[in-house]
């Protein structure tokens, strides 16, 4: 994993291709009533990988760089900017996509309710899918072999200001436009690797 991290933080950065982003840089999002234009640096880009460095058809999340890579044939990958889990709520590991949902419902975990009851108690029985739902437009549900649902998600958000920050309760988030693009490419069973944060302590539930 360390060698792959070095690959994607050093040599890969020098080999980015100046291809057109999938989403217009002028795309404006409304955040709590205020217009927000997603910065160009957070737009998806197709990048070149070192030959035979990562298998095709996998997701790799590098939390220190706030990047998610969806690997493509011919040693290429789509790079998306993400927000990740704050503090020690981020959970590294190897997972697979066990379910996919459009405009998913959301229910906070018991640990989330205990940590921040003022925010989450009202949704203990679940929140319907929709633009204000924390999971956004699409969600990939991360499972582990033998244990099933990890309760971690790769999902959308209606708050693009959180991209490029460590802010969530453990999941990785993309802006809605980009998570829809990723969702349409990623099949069930896809391998997902969440790399460890540099200097991070044990993860909390």
Residue 73 has pLDDT above 70, yes or no: yes
Q: Determine, yes or no, domain membership for 201.
A: no
Q: Determine, yes or no, domain membership for 21.
A: yes
Distance between CA atoms of residues 164 and 55, nearest Å:
25
User: Between these two residues, 103 and 126, which has the higher pLDDT value?
Assistant: 103
> What are the tokens at 133?
């739902």
Mode of pairing for the β-strands spanning 148-157 and 76-81: unpaired
> What values do phi and psi take at 19, rounded to 5?
-85, 160
Task: Tell me the pLDDT tens digit for each residue of 130-187.
Answer: 988 989 999 999 999 989 999 999 999 988 999 999 988 788 999 999 999 999 999 9
Split at pLDDT 50, 70, 90, the class of 27 is very low
Quote the pLDDT of residue 174.
Answer: 96
> What are the tokens at 114?
């205990």
Q: Give per-residue burial for 145-170: e unless 16+ CB within 10 Å, then b.
A: eeeeebbbbbbbbbbbbbbbebbbbb
Task: Tell me the pLDDT tens digit for each residue of 29-70.
Answer: 444 456 778 899 999 999 999 999 999 999 999 999 999 999
Quote the pLDDT of residue 7.
Answer: 39
Quote the pLDDT of residue 158.
Answer: 82
Query: For residues 170 and 85, is the Cβ–Cβ distance under 8 A?
Result: yes
Mode of pairing for the β-strands spanning 191-194 and 93-102: antiparallel
CATH number of the CATH domain containing 45: 2.40.440.10
Quote the pLDDT of residue 44.
Answer: 97
> What values do phi and psi take at 121, rounded to 5?
-55, -40
Q: Determine, yes or no, domain membership for 77.
A: yes
In 3D, which of 192, 144, 148 has the Cα closest to residue 172? 192
Q: Determine, yes or no, domain membership for 167.
A: yes
Q: Determine, yes or no, domain membership for 205.
A: no
Q: Which pTM was predicted?
A: 0.78
Residue 204 has pLDDT above 50, yes or no: no
Quote the pLDDT of residue 33.
Answer: 52
Beta bridge partners of 96: 143, 191
Q: Determine, yes or no, domain membership for 61.
A: yes
DSSP state of 111: H
Distance between CA atoms of residues 46 and 194, nearest Å:
20
Q: Determine, yes or no, domain membership for 56.
A: yes
Domain count, the chain: 1
Task: Tell me the pLDDT tens digit for each residue of 4-20.
Answer: 433 343 333 333 222 22
Scan for tokens 């792959």, then name that residue: 4
- Range of 115's domain? 2-194
Q: Determine, yes or no, domain membership for 129.
A: yes
């Amino acid at each position: 994993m360390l060698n792959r991290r070095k690959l994607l933080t050093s040599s890969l950065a020098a080999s980015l291709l100046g291809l057109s982003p999938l989403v217009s840089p002028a795309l404006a999002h409304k955040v709590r009533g205020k217009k927000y234009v997603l910065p160009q640096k957070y737009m998806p880009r197709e990048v070149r990988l070192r030959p035979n460095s990562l298998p095709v058809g996998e997701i790799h999340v590098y939390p220190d760089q706030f990047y998610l890579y969806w690997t493509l044939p011919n040693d290429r990958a789509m790079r998306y900017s993400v927000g990740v889990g704050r503090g020690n709520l981020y959970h590294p590991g190897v997972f697979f996509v066990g379910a996919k949902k459009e405009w998913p419902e959301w229910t906070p975990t018991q640990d989330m309710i205990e940590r921040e009851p003022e925010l989450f108690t009202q949704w203990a029985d679940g929140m319907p899918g929709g633009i204000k739902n924390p999971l956004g437009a699409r969600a990939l549900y991360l499972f582990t072999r033998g244990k099933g649902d990890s309760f971690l998600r790769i999902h959308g958000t209606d708050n693009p200001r959180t991209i490029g920050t460590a802010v969530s309760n453990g999941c990785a988030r993309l802006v809605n436009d980009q998570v829809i693009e990723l969702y349409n490419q990623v099949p069930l069973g896809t391998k997902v690797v969440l790399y460890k944060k540099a200097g991070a302590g044990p993860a909390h539930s």
